Amino acid sequence: MAINFRKNAAKALKQDDIQINLKNVVSRLRDHRSAAFTDAALFEQLRLECKSIRERAVFRLPRLLEQLEGNLLRNGIQVHWAETTLQANQIVLDIMQRHQATFLVKGKSMVSEEMGINAFLASHGIECLESDLGEFIIQLANEKPAHIIVPAIHKNRKQIASLMHKYFPEMPYSEDIDILAAKARYFLRDKFCNAPVGMTGVNFMVAETGTLCLVENEGNGRMCTTVPPVHIAVTGIEKVIERLDDLPPLLSMLVRSATGQPITTYVNMISSPRREGEQDGPEEVHLVLLDNGRSNICGDMELQETLHCIRCGACINHCPVYRQIGGHAYDTVIPGPIGAILEPQKAGMDRYGELTQASTLCGACSEVCPVKIPIPKIINRLRWEAVRQDTCNVSGSCPARKPLEAVIWKIWSQVCSNPGLYRLLAQLVTRLRNCIPAAIWQGWTIARTPPKPARTTLHERLKAKGIDYE
């Protein structure tokens, strides 16, 4: 079913607290990021390097995936392939059931959100416990993350304090951020200790060495990958990179673009389960590789760049539309500019095509993108895909084509390619400048002065000055 973006956005705009919370946090994230890139020339150089790494990886995707699989298997990590989220969920469920596990602790993972694993496992009586502080808060509130890096971005400390108090009434109420974090630590420590399974996402997979690389600050990710006897990593097939040498520039770009830190507290590179003689680490490590529409994006030179994304969230933080409406209005796993190009291509234009309208094409997203994805260009392309008459190149039918609109553009193109007709119409518009019905502007003039045509056309004015090139 198609989402109703306009309705969601209108609703979000009326919620003042969302606006204030977002504005504060998003502007901090932007400040941190710009402080981390003080040298514009170096930034551009690193961007080019990262772009070419990701481009090479996506171009060689099938080969790299096979290489990755080979090396992971050699290292003792089990690899599972899933075409759909349902298959991925089933793979996880099978592993859980084989170990008779009744709950798992989870590190932050957007692919696990994409799978809807929490709800799926709950329907089989298995609990997923979010352990990233932001995700933990979101899970208590029974909501979905509103940002890919800062899931609880839309909540302020007061809201979080009362939420925590509701669930942990035995601990005294506090709005102190250190105490709020300590409450989560206290509650989760026991869970880490006893969890039969830990689940996480992956930031990069290195084909050359068969390594899963994860970044995080809290240590909850390491808890999930290290303490339980079984670790399940879930990720999209496009996260693979070719060489270990490709990792340092990408890591540096990812972390600085996301939060402005030079590096996260932990960079966790996992190449093997517990080996003979080792005292800890999981006995089993599983990797679930999810396609879910990604491979279909590979067939088009221009659209393929969507898969270069390293999920830093910089485009989200710089998007004027996101800043006003927040993440929930998009009704997708990934919000913001990258979500607006990724989700329609994955799940179909019929479902998410409307998101291509969630942009002013201001270009801020592509200016900050660490791998130079031309997001506005892809948005434009998808808008065209949505209304083209012949076959749409993107999954899902092309539902946005309106007959009346098509006729109007047809006339427009006729007029513009016929000089006589164009002048006649231009003259007509200038003469009728006071009679333009207000209705044609629709919402445009709610906060803007309606444009008014000049008294005479440009051709007439030039002619009057004696200039005539024809």
Looking at residues 15 to 74 of the shown chain, list those that interact with another protein (rule: CB under 8 A): 21, 24-25, 28-29, 32, 42, 45-46, 48-49, 51-52, 55-56, 59-62, 65-66
Between residues 192 and 330, which has the closer beta carbon with respect to another protein?
192
Nearest to 337 by CA among 310, 312, 356, 350: 356
Closest contact distance (angstroms) between CB of 322 and another protein is 16
Distance CA 110, CA 333 (A): 7
Amino acid at 235: T
- Residue 241's H or E segment, with its range, is strand 240-241
Piece in contact with another protein (CB under 8 A), picked from 10-18, 119-127, 299-307, 385-393: 299-307
Nearest to 84 by CA among 254, 237, 229, 219: 237
Amino acid at 142: N
Piece in contact with another protein (CB under 8 A), picked from 242-250, 348-356, 418-426, 435-443: 242-250
Distance CA 402, CA 466 (A): 44
Between residues 298 and 387, which has the closer beta carbon with respect to another protein?
298
Is residue 86 within the footprint of another protein (CB under 8 A)? no
Among 7, 34, 73, 83, binds another protein (CB under 8 A): 83
Piece in contact with another protein (CB under 8 A), picked from 2-10, 186-194, 342-350, 381-389: 186-194
Between residues 61 and 309, which has the closer beta carbon with respect to another protein?
61
Among 181, 421, 432, 458, binds another protein (CB under 8 A): 181
Instruction: Record the tokens describing residue 199, joined without a space.
Output: 């689940």
Give SS3 for 231: strand
Between residues 18 and 358, which has the closer beta carbon with respect to another protein?
18
Closest contact distance (angstroms) between CB of 272 and another protein is 4
Considering only residues 252-291, where is the footprint of another protein by CB under 8 A?
A: 252, 259, 262-275, 277-281, 289, 291
The site string for another protein over 132-171 (x = CB under 8 A, - otherwise) reads xxx--x------------xxx---xx--x-----------
Among 174, 217, 324, 430, binds another protein (CB under 8 A): 217
Distance CA 313, CA 336 (A): 8
Between residues 155 and 328, which has the closer beta carbon with respect to another protein?
155
Half-sphere exposure of 418 (CA within 13 A, CB side): 10
Closest contact distance (angstroms) between CB of 389 and another protein is 24
Q: Is the dihedral of CA 239, 242, 246, 247 positive or negative?
A: positive
Half-sphere exposure of 362 (CA within 13 A, CB side): 14
Size of the site for another protein (CB under 8 A): 101
Number of C-beta neighbours around residue 388 at 10 A: 13
Distance CA 134, CA 151 (A): 5
Between residues 105 and 349, which has the closer beta carbon with respect to another protein?
105
- Residue 232's H or E segment, with its range, is strand 230-236
Q: Which bin fits 195, alpha (ψ -120 to 50), beta or left (φ > 0)?
A: beta
Distance CA 249, CA 255 (A): 10
Is residue 362 within the footprint of another protein (CB under 8 A)? no
Question: Which value, in Å, is the radius of gyration of the alpha carbons in the chain?
Answer: 26
Among 128, 240, 251, 333, binds another protein (CB under 8 A): 251
Among 95, 121, 205, 247, binds another protein (CB under 8 A): 247
Closest contact distance (angstroms) between CB of 105 and another protein is 10
Among 198, 249, 326, 348, binds another protein (CB under 8 A): 249
Considering only residues 375-414, where is the footprint of another protein by CB under 8 A?
A: none
Closest contact distance (angstroms) between CB of 299 and another protein is 4
Distance CA 92, CA 287 (A): 10
Residue with tokens 């996101």: 322
Nearest to 24 by CA among 155, 176, 218: 155
Among 3, 101, 126, 180, binds another protein (CB under 8 A): 180
- Residues contacting 271, CB < 8 A, separation 6+: 75, 77, 209, 210, 211, 212
Closest contact distance (angstroms) between CB of 271 and another protein is 4
Closest contact distance (angstroms) between CB of 278 and another protein is 6
